[in-house]
Amino acid sequence: MEWKGIGAAPGFAMGPAFLLQRDEVKVERRSLSREEAGTESKRFDEKVAVAIVELERIRENAKQKLGEQEAEIFSAHILVLQDPEYIGAVKEKIQTEQVNAEAALQEVTDSFVELFESMENEYMRERAADIRDVSNRVMQRLAGISETSMDDFAEPVVLLAHDLTPSDTAQLDREKVAGFATDIGGRTSHSAIMARSMEIPAVVGLREITAHLKTGDYLILDGQSGIVLVNPQPEVIREYRQKADQYAAQQAEYKKLKDEPSLTADGLQVELAANIGNPQDAVGAVRNGAEGVGLYRTEFLYMGRDTLPTEEEQFEAYKAVAETFGKDHPIVIRSLDIGGDKELPYLDLQKELNPFLGYRAIRLCLDRSDIFKTQLRAILRASVYGNIKLMYPMIASLQELRAANRVLEEVKQELKRDKISFREKMEVGMMIEVPAAAIIADQLAKEVDFFSIGTNDLIQYTMAVDRMNEKISYLYQPFNPAVLRLIKTVIDAAHREGKWAGMCGEMAGNKTAIPILLGMGLDEFSMSASSILPARALLRKLNKPDMQSLAETVLQMDAAEEIKRYVEREVPAVKE
Ligand code: PEP
Ligand code: MG
């Protein structure tokens, strides 16, 4: 069987499927006879015992991989299952009310959770989540869903999930996950972007693959074409092994360009930078020949945890990235861009109908200046360790830009007062990802040091197409004339003010887009680490004047498909 989705991160993954299940069990209340209630209570005891054994195993694993402290959470979970008040209350309910274990467990859990959540003490409130978590585990065992672990497989698995949040993706274990496939998502969903940084082959937007496959099915995943093959014949496996070998050989060829400059055929130098999400990615970026960081998505520092990162933690992370690259390489740190598909549960933000149009990024930072200032302090402090630049996301008006700069100025004054050093001349730029900003780029260019075009959002807002929605992904068109014209407007506006213009949306690493962008005069291309060397190989075959006339021609065309076909015909190297 063959499934076709959206190729999200290139490469081939082959291995057993591992279906990530996190559906809650539907509980029905059933009355029992006195005798049945006795057996039910024993059944409950057995499942609790199974859950404890599982948790002990998870705790051991966590201790080895993450350390003693991180493993403690599982000790707390085990204690919940050994708590006579909690477990005793469930058993008593089974006996006295003569009900099934699932119903008794749910009712007792609900009352415990309610009690803990109403407590003043934050520590106790957090225990409510532990109880919920642990009861889900027991509930699954009662429902006959056994826990298969990735550890049960000798080889790395292909992970199948309805969706993976960015923080799920960040926590994937490269040794155990050969690739992943999801029902929903698009090429610019953040889990797809992260897969490219982490160099994990991935296919997204497969619609309902998880409803049809099961753990243990053998899969071949092609992250380039977006194809997933299920239980293929041996000859097909052989064919794909060959393809994977060819891919590896091509990657090895690219690696030879790692320390070469990013020059066009006529000797023009452009900058090829990486998009990163954490200091670890910076190491991968250097390995892939990045000349700097064009986008550090700092929000990942805030995710997968229960509290905001401190100034010190942030400072250490920013400094680590600067040190990985060395003093001269530019590191563009973007201030917090939370919202959209990047959630922070501990901020307790209201659910919104249109999160991509909502309370996110700079809007949240200007409202929560406590969070914003802590981050700006950390960035400024790190600025003495490298060529760090600050960039604001989602700016839609001059007023927002000025407001952000006012907060920055306040933070600078505070640091001066405290005699803490920072680089006074740190460049400050902004992303162009809202069409309004692109249209007034001439005004904005006067008040920034640089622009970086965020096409992931710019396309979604220009075309009014949700970047996460696979049903309308046909409208998500980087080559749409409207998008290309906006990009040109932005680059020209920057240049007229003597400023540089970069691009950190995924389009910057798209081989068919690169000739057009070069022709339009883009100065910096920032992309997933894995796209850098293929982009460098392509640039070496391009000639600036030719690309300028190519860009002029495509700007007069009226359809995305026509533009793509034209570039592919004129510049065959984009298909290599
Ligand atoms: C963009 O919108 O193009 C961008 C780079 O930001 P993000 O993908 O994090 O929204
Ligand atoms: Mg964006």
Mean pLDDT value of segment 224-251: 96
Alpha-carbon torsion angle 496, 497, 498, 500, nearest 10: -90
The CA–CA distances, whole Å, from 128 to 86, 110, 158, 334, 384 equal: 12, 9, 33, 35, 43
Rounded distance from Cα 356 to ligand 2 centre (Å): 9
**Ligand 1 atom 9: residue of nearest CA:** 297
Mutate to test the pocket of ligand 1, among 295, 302, 341 (most ligand atoms within 8 A of CB): 295
With contact defined as beta carbons under 8 Å apart, do 554 and 516 qualify? yes
With contact defined as beta carbons under 8 Å apart, do 227 and 203 qualify? yes
Residue 460's pLDDT band, with cuts at 50, 70 and 90, is very high
- pLDDT at residue 273 above 80? yes
- pLDDT at residue 525 above 90? yes
Give the whole-number percent of the chain exceeding pLDDT 90.
Answer: 77
Work out the end-to-end distance of the chain between its first and last CA atoms, rounded to an integer number of angstroms. Answer: 29
- In sequence order, which ranges of 178-257 are alpha helices (DSSP H)? 190-198, 209-212, 234-255
DSSP-assigned beta bridge partners for residue 181: 160, 203
Which element (helix H / strand E) includes 500? strand 500-503
- From CA 468, how far away is CA 463, in angstroms rounded? 13
Rounded distance from Cα 428 to ligand 1 centre (Å): 18
Q: Is 365 in the active site? A: no
Query: Between 141 and 227, where is the model more confident?
Result: 227
Residue 124's pLDDT band, with cuts at 50, 70 and 90, is confident
- pLDDT at residue 167 above 70? no
Question: What is the reported pLDDT for 397?
Answer: 98
Using alpha carbons only, what angle is made at residue 328 by residues 326 and 329, rounded to the nearest 5 degrees? 75
Mean pLDDT value of segment 132-149: 83
With contact defined as beta carbons under 8 Å apart, do 334 and 298 qualify? yes
Collect all residues with Cβ–Cβ distance below 8 Å to 209 and sequence separation of at least 6: 3, 5, 160, 181, 183, 228
What are all long-range contacts of 552-559, with beta carbons under 8 Å and residues at least 24 apart?
A: 552/519, 554/479, 554/484, 554/516, 555/481, 555/484, 555/485, 555/488, 557/481, 558/481, 559/481
Residue 539's pLDDT band, with cuts at 50, 70 and 90, is very high
- From CA 251, how far away is CA 260, in angstroms rounded? 15
Question: What is the reported pLDDT for 343?
Answer: 85
Question: What is the reported pLDDT for 132?
Answer: 84
Residue with tokens 């092609």: 222
Name the active-site residue from 77, 162, 190, 329.
190
Rounded distance from Cα 422 to ligand 1 centre (Å): 27
Q: What is the pLDDT of residues 32-49, one digit of tens each?
A: 999 999 999 999 999 999
- From CA 376, how far away is CA 379, in angstroms rounded? 5
pTM of full prediction above 0.95:
no
Question: What is the reported pLDDT for 339?
Answer: 87
Please name each of the domains of the chain with its CATH number. Answer: 2-20+150-241 (3.50.30.10), 34-142 (1.10.274.10), 266-530 (3.20.20.60)
**Ligand lying closest to the C-alpha of residue 341:** 1
Q: Which atom of ligand 1 is nearest to the CA of 456?
A: 3
> CA 513 from chain center: how many Å?
23
566: exposed, middle or buried (C-beta count within 10 Å: 0-12, 13-18, 19+)? middle
Extract the tokens encoding 357.
Answer: 């149009």
Residue with tokens 């730029």: 429
Determine the number of helices (DSSP H) and then strands (DSSP E) in the chain: 22, 16
Residue 76's pLDDT band, with cuts at 50, 70 and 90, is confident
- pLDDT at residue 152 above 80? no
- From CA 282, how far away is CA 513, in angstroms rounded? 25
- pLDDT at residue 176 above 70? yes
- pLDDT at residue 66 above 80? no
Which element (helix H / strand E) includes 345? none
88 half-sphere exposure, CB direction, 13 A CA radius? 4
Q: Which atom of ligand 1 is nearest to the CA of 188?
A: 8
- From CA 442, how far away is CA 489, in angstroms rounded? 8
Write down the mean pLDDT value for the chain.
93
Q: Which atom of ligand 1 is nearest to the CA of 460?
A: 2
Residue 175's pLDDT band, with cuts at 50, 70 and 90, is confident
- pLDDT at residue 71 above 70? yes
**Ligand 1 atom 7: residue of nearest CA:** 456
Q: What is the pLDDT of residues 361-381, one digit of tens each?
A: 999 999 999 999 999 999 999
Alpha-carbon torsion angle 489, 494, 497, 498, nearest 10: -140
Collect all residues with Cβ–Cβ distance below 8 Å to 20 and sequence separation of at least 6: 159, 160, 161, 162, 164
Question: What is the reported pLDDT for 442?
Answer: 98
- pLDDT at residue 295 above 80? yes
- From CA 327, how far away is CA 2, in angstroms rounded? 49
Q: What is the pLDDT of residues 11-21, one digit of tens each?
A: 999 999 999 87
Rounded distance from Cα 100 to ligand 2 centre (Å): 49
Beta strands in 126-270 (DSSP E): 157-161, 177-182, 202-204, 218-222, 227-230
| Number of neighbours of residue 522 by Cβ within 10 angstroms | 25
Reference 411, options 394, 393, 424; nearest CA is 424
**Ligand lying closest to the C-alpha of residue 452:** 1
Residue with tokens 């497989």: 153
Q: What is the pLDDT of residues 347-362, one digit of tens each?
A: 988 889 999 999 999 9
Question: What is the reported pLDDT for 153?
Answer: 81
Name the active-site residue from 162, 329, 365, 504.
504
Rounded distance from Cα 70 to ligand 1 centre (Å): 31
**Ligand 1 atom 8: residue of nearest CA:** 456
Rounded distance from Cα 451 to ligand 1 centre (Å): 13
Pocket of ligand 1 (CB under 6 A): 295, 297, 337, 433, 454-457, 504-505
Question: What is the reported pLDDT for 190?
Answer: 82
Sort strands 218-222 and 12-19 into parallel, antiparallel or unpaired: antiparallel
- From CA 310, how far away is CA 252, in angstroms rounded? 40
- From CA 348, how far away is CA 573, in angstroms rounded? 49
Mutate to test the pocket of ligand 1, among 197, 504, 517, 528 (most ligand atoms within 8 A of CB): 504
Mean pLDDT value of segment 247-268: 96
Question: What is the reported pLDDT for 22?
Answer: 65
- From CA 531, how far away is CA 116, in angstroms rounded? 49
Mean pLDDT value of segment 481-504: 98
Extract the tokens encoding 368.
Answer: 């929560």
Mean pLDDT value of segment 404-421: 98
**Ligand lying closest to the C-alpha of residue 188:** 1
Residue 163's pLDDT band, with cuts at 50, 70 and 90, is confident
Using alpha carbons only, what angle is made at residue 225 by residues 19 and 257, rounded to the nearest 5 degrees? 110
